[in-house]
Structure 1
Amino acid sequence: MVAFNPSMIVPVAKSAEFASDTGQERNAKSILLDGITKQIALFKNPSENGRRWFTIGKTETKITLRVNNQPIKIVGDETSVVVPSEHFEAAMNHYAKEIRDGKMDPALVEADAGIVARRDKLRKTREDKKKPA
């Protein structure tokens, strides 16, 4: 065993094992991947409560991927796509893979900017509330 050295202490974000588990400063990619998992669960259990990114029709399901309650561009400038309902889960898993592989990064740039703006606004609001009147 190697002796302890203080340089071994690193932020969670730099950890190979726990980098996605920081719980803070989440980005559009992690929010979207978590959301896709939630949408699959909602699709499988229609009675479960939660905001849905999909609308089920007679034979097809319309899908919209969202970050900060804003739709992101999926195909070109389109923010919604349609898939046969029986292939909903496969389509969502396809998008999750595309997101992990970085193929949707250009669409996530705007979403990341929105996340930062919202986070900054909330921090400022909290700071303003702490200041004496």
Structure 2
Amino acid sequence: MTAFNPSMIKPASKSAEFATTEQGRTAKSILIDGIAKQIKLFSNPKEDGRRWFVLGQKEVALTLRVNNKPIKLIGDETKVVVPVEQFEAAMNHFKAEVEKGNFNAQLEEADKGIATRREKLRSTRAAKKTATK
């Protein structure tokens, strides 16, 4: 182990491991993380969490969401159905499509909404902070 040197301290945004903090997350990374969470929720029905799917007897209806808004998956449709046994494969398919950039136009719009919301939260916090002084 090397001795500590203050020059080792650097901003998290410059770190390969921690560069994508909450503040720096994009709609694309949020959606990919969300897909992984939905697969986990599907495989463990007792786990708490908001689900993007509704389980039927033979099919599952699903949506993909970013910034609390559904993504258009086929044409203008935001909800699709797949056979129950194909849910995980369908979610992995959508993850691959996101990674390929097939939803980039919608995700860019979502990024704008996320940025607007972050700025509003910052200004609200700042206003509350100055009001309490």
**Secondary structure at the residue paired with 2:23?**
coil
**Secondary structure at the residue paired with 2:47?**
coil
* Higher alpha-carbon deviation: 19-28 or 104-113: 19-28
Show the counterpart of 1:114.
113
2:91 is equivalent to residue 92 of structure 1: yes
Question: How far, CA to CA, are the matches of 1:82 and 1:71 in structure 2?
Answer: 15
2:35 is equivalent to residue 69 of structure 1: no
Taking structure 1 as the reference length, the TM-score comes to 0.83
Q: Shift of residue 108 of structure 1?
A: 1.0
Show the counterpart of 2:3.
none
Query: Quick check: 1:55–1:62 contact (8 Å CA) kept in 2?
Result: yes
2:58 is equivalent to residue 59 of structure 1: yes
Show the counterpart of 1:6.
none
Structure 1 portions without partners, runs of 5+: 1-8
Q: Give the number of aligned pairs.
A: 124
Show the counterpart of 1:130.
129
Alignment of 1:10-25 (within 5 A): 17-18=16-17, 21-25=20-24
**Secondary structure at the residue paired with 1:51?**
coil
Q: What RMSD over aligned residues (CA atoms) do the two structures have, in Å? A: 2.0
Query: Quick check: 1:42–1:50 contact (8 Å CA) kept in 2?
Result: yes
Show the counterpart of 1:3.
none
Q: Shift of residue 23 of structure 1?
A: 3.6
Taking structure 2 as the reference length, the TM-score comes to 0.83
